[in-house]
């Protein structure tokens, strides 16, 4: 995580054959710009675990792109988590994004413990590091929905770093100052943990509202107005979304961000335009 800013993308496991075909098309188009890594998520409550493992392993085999596999504590015992890590290792995946994960009701829902499982991501960090994986974790410029203060989030990140996490990737956000405040707060605690900034290219107004609500990400009024002004024109929404992402990316790069991570929603076209406009490739 040094030198020029990295560029990475995130996908979610497809629900059916049509979705899987779309995913491979998107990855094929992204291959031309060679992302530093691609990550694959779990669904809410760990509901897509088996599909995640299969698709993640297939991405590595088909593209050769470094793959970072998500792993969550949701609905799993320590024994099951060890088995999943073993399957990732067999698929030659060396990097894990260790997350507590969201319950079925979303990040603000009540957490339900599993006997023999973990309740916090730092426990998962320790397990994955002990198994020899490079481990990344999540960070929240707009504060985690379950945290009362940014200091709570900083304490959690520091503990994950102490247990061996070597980088963090943020939830998507829209205000660069929030990112830099998070990095400064870590630096004030003598932490140099690299924080990769997450960017969501806006392509759909309803999708934006839903994801922002679930993740607790505030949408600045200036951005809301720009998007709502063209809400009836899908092409214009996409164009405005690209403009907003480029503006955010430029501000982050100017401030020395170590990497940009794009939440593609399994569509590559907007991300390709943004990455090229930012000069990342």
- We report the CATH number of the domain holding residue 84 as 3.20.20.220
Is the residue at 223 inside a domain? Answer: yes
Does residue 251 fall inside a structural domain? yes
Residue 70, SS3? strand
8 Å CB contact between 68 and 136: yes
- How far apart, in whole angstroms, are the C-alpha atoms of residue 147 and residue 194? 21
SS3 of 81-108: HHHHHHHHHHCCCCEEEEECCCCCCCCC
CA gap 57, 91 in Å, rounded: 5
pTM: 0.92
Are the C-beta atoms of 253 and 5 separated by less than 8 Å?
Answer: yes
CA distance 151 to 125: 20
**What is the rounded distance in angstroms from the CA atom of residue 178 to the CA atom of residue 16?**
37
Q: Give domain status of residue 1, yes or no.
A: no
Phi, psi angle pair for 69, to nearest 5°: -95, 130
Q: Which residues contact 55 (CB under 8 A, 6 or more apart)?
A: 11, 13, 14, 20, 23, 40
> Residues near 273 by Cβ (< 8 Å), separated by ≥ 6?
242
Rounded Cα distance between 279 and 281, Å, is 5
Count of domains for the chain = 1
Say if residues 69 and 96 touch (Cβ distance below 8 Å).
Answer: yes
Cβ neighbours around 1 below 10 Å, total: 15
Q: What is the three-class DSSP state of 114?
A: coil
Domain range for 118 is 6-277
The residues assigned a catalytic role are: 10
Q: What is the pLDDT along the chain (281 residues), one digit of tens a residue?
A: 334 899 999 998 888 888 888 889 999 888 888 899 999 886 555 556 677 788 888 888 888 889 999 999 888 899 999 999 998 999 889 999 999 887 666 666 677 788 998 988 999 999 999 999 999 999 999 988 777 888 999 999 999 999 999 999 999 999 999 999 999 999 999 999 999 999 999 999 988 888 787 777 889 999 999 999 999 999 999 999 999 999 999 999 999 999 999 999 888 999 999 999 999 98
């Amino acid at each position: 995580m040094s030198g020029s800013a990295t560029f990475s993308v995130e996908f979610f496991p497809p629900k059916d054959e049509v979705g899987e075909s779309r995913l491979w098309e998107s990855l094929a188009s992204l291959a031309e710009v060679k992302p530093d890594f691609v990550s694959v998520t779990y669904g809410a409550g760990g509901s897509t675990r088996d599909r995640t493992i299969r698709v993640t392993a297939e991405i590595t085999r088909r593209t050769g792109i470094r793959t970072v596999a998500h792993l969550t504590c949701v609905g799993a015992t320590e024994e099951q988590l060890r088995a999943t890590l073993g399957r990732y290792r067999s698929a030659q995946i060396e990097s894990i994004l260790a997350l507590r994960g969201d319950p079925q009701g979303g990040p603000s829902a009540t957490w339900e413990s599993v006997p023999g499982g973990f309740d916090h991501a730092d426990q998962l960090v320790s397990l994955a590091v002990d198994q020899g994986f490079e481990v990344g974790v999540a960070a929240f410029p707009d504060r985690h929905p379950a945290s009362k203060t940014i200091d709570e989030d900083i304490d959690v990140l520091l503990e994950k770093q102490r247990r061996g996490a070597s980088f963090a990737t943020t939830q998507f956000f829209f205000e660069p100052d929030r990112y830099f405040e998070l990095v400064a707060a870590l630096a004030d605690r003598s932490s140099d943990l690299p924080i990769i900034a997450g960017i969501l290219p806006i392509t759909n107004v309803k999708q934006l509202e839903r994801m922002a609500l679930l993740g607790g990400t505030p949408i600045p009024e200036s951005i809301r107005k720009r998007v709502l002004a063209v809400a009836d024109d899908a092409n214009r929404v996409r164009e405005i979304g690209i403009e907003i992402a480029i503006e955010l990316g430029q501000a982050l790069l100017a401030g020395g961000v170590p990497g940009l991570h794009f939440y593609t929603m399994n569509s590559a076209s907007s991300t390709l335009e943004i990455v090229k406009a930012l000069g990342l490739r």
